[in-house]
Amino acid sequence: MKKNMDYGLLISILLFSLFGILMIYSASHIWAEYKFHDAFKFVKNQGFFFLIGTFLMVVISKIDYKKYYDLSNKLLGVCVLLLILVLIPGIGTIRNGSRSWFGIGSFGIQPSEFTKLAFIIFTSKYLSKNEKDMNKIKKGVLPILGFTLFLFFLIMLQPDFGTGSILVMSILGLLYVGGVPFSFFLKIGIVGVVGVAGLILAAPYRLARILSFLDPWKDPLGSGFQMIQSLYAIGPGGLFGFGFGNSRQKHFYLPEPQTDFIFSIISEEFGFLGVLIVTSFFLFIVYRGFQISLKSKDLFGKYLSFGITFQLLFQAVMNLMVVTGLIPVTGVTLPFLSYGGSSLLITLCGMGILLNISRNNT
Amino acid sequence: MFFSSIHKRIKLIFLVSIFLFFLIIGKVFYIQVIQYQKLHKYANDLWSRNLPIEPNRGTIYDRNGTVLANNLTTTSLVLIPNQIEDMEDTTQKLADILGVTYEEMYQHVSKKTSIERVHPEGRRLSFDVSDEIAKLKLPGVYLVKESKRNYPYDTLLSHTLGFVGIDNQGLSGLELMYNSYLTGEYGAIKYFSDAKGNKLNLNEVYEKPQDGVNMTLTIDYQIQQSLERELDNAMLKYNPDQALGIAMNPKTGEILAISSRPNFSPSHYQNYTTEEINRNLPIWATYEPGSTFKIITLSASLEEGVVDLENDHFYDSGSIQVENARIKCWKHGGHGEETFLQVVENSCNPGFVVLGQRLGKEKLFHYIDEFGFGKKTGVDLNGEGSGILFSLDKVGPVELATTAFGQGVSVTPIQQITAVSAAINGGILYQPYIVKSLNEPETNTVILEHKPTPIRKVLQEETSKKVRMALESVVTNGTGRNAFIDGYRVGGKTGTAQKAQNGGYLVGNYIVSFMGFLPADDPEIIVYVAVDHAKGITQYGGTIAAPIARNILLDSIDALSIQKREGSSEKNYQIGEKKYQTIPNVVGMNVNEALPLLKPFKVEYSGTGETISYQSPSAGERILEGETIRLLLSE
């Protein structure tokens, strides 16, 4: 096993994460100073997780990914247990209206983040094992889909629609690549529309959210508020932005600018040029991830590398579309850049697996 | 084979993802480039806070550029509570300087607002106080420029100009009527702040305030000042209830001067009653005009050709019987045999009753209507009255008779002067006006300009000439001789009207008036003066109002540079009245030769000798009998 891993990918990941930390400082120091009297509060947290994450990434990149094939059931089992535990008041803590965290000191651990990765591993194994049955809906598709919906349901109990939908969508992506007929996805699409309608009926506030992205000025202080504040950051940025550290919207206008809407602040400080650079980074990582998948010689590695990359891709695209007003506001963070310890940790772990697969390919 | 199917799908997904990234980039491009202007503006509004800067209110000028209202610059205290670091300390310091209690000041300092104006304690601060505040350099404490209205001549033209309130908003007069023009637009110092109101470390933007529009009036400051002085003198001399005056250019309807007593000081309007402030008597007051109204009857009679002034005769026995009423002349025993010109000169009531009868009620009231009585003149001032006339079906012979000499009708001074202007200017009724133009303050571009507005032709040119001639002879020969100005051909008419109250007439309570103009051959100014209930004097228009009008006309000659007239009519002197005499040329003569020629005058000498080398005034000048001539003698 003296093969070279994808160093281009590794360097991109590290550069990108460091850029994320810089941007978290720029976006958060005003709020951090105001709330915690510590301008570096968020940066310190993120930096801590970045160090652990990088360490884990390097370690994982040396662990043969095939080991997860055998461990996948145990990993997922632990995650499901945590997902149930986090729902219990006293164990799980509520932040921003969702009981998604295990609070450890000032840190928070989100089991749903871990589940996202564990379930990719699980599904990759499932697909490679049931390779022959994947064009049979009942025998091949429905069992794994049923389990996916179960996990989605667990996550929605927190509730965390963003993470839940990413989990479901990345499994659907895997199923598609795994050979499930395209017609099946059309049917799912129809069911999905019906499902969304049902969710709206269950909690009508979602409808306002869904519609507000079309014209945020209809309800500038309510459902359109975040969208408007995001546009006020992106728009004035212009071609080259106000320069690093010079965002105005971070001065209490855009709520929690370091999380879901960090891309707005990047647009404000670095303008259209910055946007091009950030999207290029993502596209590069996705391109490399898919290449690793294409080159992978065994099915499990192929599915696993595709699943990890696709999840990253989907989450990034979803976040960027929310921030730019292409789709309704959904609580999804931007991988590598948004503040969030668990998210960064898991993303880096995923990258570690990806790097290991790349090492085994050549 | 199976791999290739997977690979196809992965590549397809990658293509879709590229498409999505391009979609996102396209949307960002749309936001940052296409929507840039709009979002940049909105966001700037969101980030910036305004410290308002008051514009200068438009200056008001007279027709020759004399400033009648302008502004003084002062400073006012403005707080931005979010920027104040030490609430207690700031409150204490400001309270001490402004002399208010800690509690009062704390309410301003702690107010949950983006910008707090400390009102009224912090408004219009004196230089010392604002300097003291500025020296403290307290964060969140600002001094902004404010302008305060200033009336350099205080009470001059007060009713017409009006006044402004604490926020420089027009509250009465022209200040109110033209408030939207005079106000201007606020400017601002824009500074950027965070969502909690704290100032961000970014450059401030200065937005210049747009000063209000300047206004030029038709008023002539010199004539206005003359009118004000004369009214003040009349108030001192006669202690009347009210007094008023208007001067107008009869050929255009431009008001040259307008004032009344009681008046007020616009800078201290709080010290006056609303009646004193709001009643701009020359346009508001309605009363029986008395004999000045005879000009209307005279004009109508001449236009209709019912009288030949010089050849028609009338015998005034002292009264005239109209149905059951006996209408008396003001002169006990009557004027006896007289021509109708003398009827006008003497202001003989029975004579005018006859003129009214000759016209008939339809024609007389037709002219009253044509001259604009009974409705507002439309002068550009607020608070104008419209007067009261008999309705035609209620006019019987008695009403016709009294209307003919100015009783039983109620009119405003502005109606009278406007109507008489038409009677003497060649017959055209003009709408009176006082605002000449509005000019943009920086470029002086004309925004609005009033031109003379003819309403209708009431008299023929010839008729108007006859009216002027008759009124000139009132001044040279008749009741108006106290308004005579040698060499300038004054025309005029006196008026003495008993005041009516509760359906009856008050005893010993008159409004005396005079309507005068000059030069009579080509009138350039007409003046109307009325004094209400003068005390300690026989109340006649000729004795009280005519001398006032004369003084104003005299000042107007200078103000309007009116030329002396050739061949002006000689005054018809009464016994004991001093006459004007032309000074003969005595330069070069021997003193003994000259003295008989200078008999009417007092003579003073200087120098020694017997030959006159210089005389003052020079030959050809006209002075009153008994006035002094100085002679310089030499060997």
Q: Does A251 touch chain B (CB under 8 A)?
A: yes
Domain limits for position B504: 221-559
Is residue B43 situated within a structural domain?
no
Domain parsing of chain A, residue ranges = 7-361
Token pair recorded at residue A111: 């089991």
Please enumerate in sequence order all residues whose Cβ is within 8 A of that of B474, keeping only pairs 6 or more positions apart, or say none: B344, B345, B347, B480, B491, B492, B493, B494
- What is the arithmetic mean of pLDDT over B244-268? 94
More confident residue, B248 or A187: B248
Option in B24, B47, B193 nearest A326 (CB): B24
Summarised one tens digit per residue, pLDDT across range B475-510 is 988 888 888 888 889 999 998 888 877 777 887 888
Choose among A322, A227, A312: nearest CA to A17: A312
Specify the pLDDT at position A1. Answer: 47
Option in A271, A310, A324 nearest B27 (CB): A324
Q: Is the pLDDT reported for residue A147 higher than 60?
A: yes
Q: Does A287 touch chain B (CB under 8 A)?
A: yes
- Asked if residue B203 and residue B141 are part of one domain, the reply reads yes
- Asked if residue B474 and residue B447 are part of one domain, the reply reads yes
d(CA B339, CA B347): 12
Is residue B102 situated within a structural domain?
yes
Is residue B45 situated within a structural domain?
no
Which residue among B291, B347, B421, B464 is the active-site one?
B291
Specify the pLDDT at position A16. Answer: 93
d(CA B11, CA A354): 18
Specify the pLDDT at position B576. Answer: 53
Summarised one tens digit per residue, pLDDT across range A95-105 is 777 788 887 76
Q: Does B506 touch chain A (CB under 8 A)?
A: no
Token pair recorded at residue B94: 């400001």
Choose among B78, B50, B54: nearest CA to B183: B54
Chain A residues with CB-CB distance to B7 below 8 A: 294
Q: Is the pLDDT reported for residue B15 higher than 90?
A: yes
Counting one residue from A and one from B, how many pairs have CB atoms under 8 Å apart?
114
Q: Does B134 touch chain A (CB under 8 A)?
A: no
Specify the pLDDT at position B1. Answer: 45
Note whether A275 contacts B35, CB cutoff 8 Å.
no
Note whether A325 contacts B13, CB cutoff 8 Å.
no
Summarised one tens digit per residue, pLDDT across range A85-124 is 988 888 888 877 778 888 776 677 889 999 999 999 999 9
Note whether B14 contacts A232, CB cutoff 8 Å.
no
Confidence class for position B80, pLDDT limits 50, 70, 90? confident
Confidence class for position A362, pLDDT limits 50, 70, 90? low
Specify the pLDDT at position B319. Answer: 86
- Asked if residue B301 and residue B232 are part of one domain, the reply reads yes
How many alpha carbons lie under 13 Å from residue A246 in its C-beta half-sphere?
13
Specify the pLDDT at position B464. Answer: 94
Confidence class for position B422, pLDDT limits 50, 70, 90? very high
d(CA A303, CA A286): 14
Q: Is the pLDDT reported for residue A149 higher than 60?
A: yes
Summarised one tens digit per residue, pLDDT across range B452-478 is 999 999 999 999 999 999 999 899 888
- What burial class does residue B19 get, using C-beta atoms within 10 Å of its C-beta: 0-12 exposed, 13-18 middle, 19+ buried? exposed
Option in A177, A236, A317 nearest B9 (CB): A177
Q: Does A176 touch chain B (CB under 8 A)?
A: yes
Specify the pLDDT at position B75. Answer: 85
Confidence class for position B444, pLDDT limits 50, 70, 90? confident
- Asked if residue B300 and residue B184 are part of one domain, the reply reads no
Summarised one tens digit per residue, pLDDT across range B124-147 is 888 888 888 888 888 888 888 778
- Asked if residue B423 and residue B321 are part of one domain, the reply reads yes
Summarised one tens digit per residue, pLDDT across range A231-281 is 899 988 888 988 998 888 888 888 888 888 999 999 999 999 999 999 999
Specify the pLDDT at position A105. Answer: 65
| Prediction ipTM score | 0.92
d(CA A297, CA B77): 78
Choosing from B182, B197, B217, the residue where a domain stops is B217
Q: Is the pLDDT reported for residue A315 higher than 80?
A: yes
- What is the arithmetic mean of pLDDT over A295-321? 94
- Asked if residue B500 and residue B436 are part of one domain, the reply reads yes
Q: Is the pLDDT reported for residue B197 higher than 80?
A: no
- Asked if residue B260 and residue B205 are part of one domain, the reply reads no
How many alpha carbons lie under 13 Å from residue A322 in its C-beta half-sphere?
22
Note whether B39 contacts A276, CB cutoff 8 Å.
no
Note whether B28 contacts A267, CB cutoff 8 Å.
yes
Summarised one tens digit per residue, pLDDT across range A22-32 is 999 999 998 88
- What is the arithmetic mean of pLDDT over B396-401? 89
- Asked if residue B595 and residue B539 are part of one domain, the reply reads no
Specify the pLDDT at position B375. Answer: 92
Q: In the annotation, is B291 catalytic?
A: yes
Specify the pLDDT at position B310. Answer: 87
Chain B residues with CB-CB distance to A310 below 8 A: 13
Option in A178, A238, A306 nearest B32 (CB): A238
- Asked if residue B225 and residue B211 are part of one domain, the reply reads no
Q: Is the pLDDT reported for residue A322 higher than 80?
A: yes
Summarised one tens digit per residue, pLDDT across range B20-47 is 999 999 999 999 988 888 888 888 888 8
Do A32 and A38 form a contact (C-beta atoms < 8 A)?
A: yes
- Letter for the amino acid at B519? P
- Asked if residue B592 and residue B462 are part of one domain, the reply reads no
Choose among B430, B409, B410: nearest CA to B420: B430
Specify the pLDDT at position A122. Answer: 95
- Asked if residue B629 and residue B526 are part of one domain, the reply reads no
* 419-448 in chain B: CB under 8 A from chain A: none
Option in B17, B31, B194 nearest A235 (CB): B31
Token pair recorded at residue B201: 């470390």
Question: Is the torsion defined by CA of A99, A100, A103, A107 positive or negative?
Answer: negative
Q: Closest Cα of chain A to B38: distance in Å?
A: 9
Summarised one tens digit per residue, pLDDT across range B109-121 is 888 777 788 878 8
Chain B residues with CB-CB distance to A320 below 8 A: 21, 24
Is residue B42 situated within a structural domain?
no
Summarised one tens digit per residue, pLDDT across range A6-23 is 889 999 999 999 999 999
Domain count of the fold of chain B: 4
d(CA B355, CA A96): 99
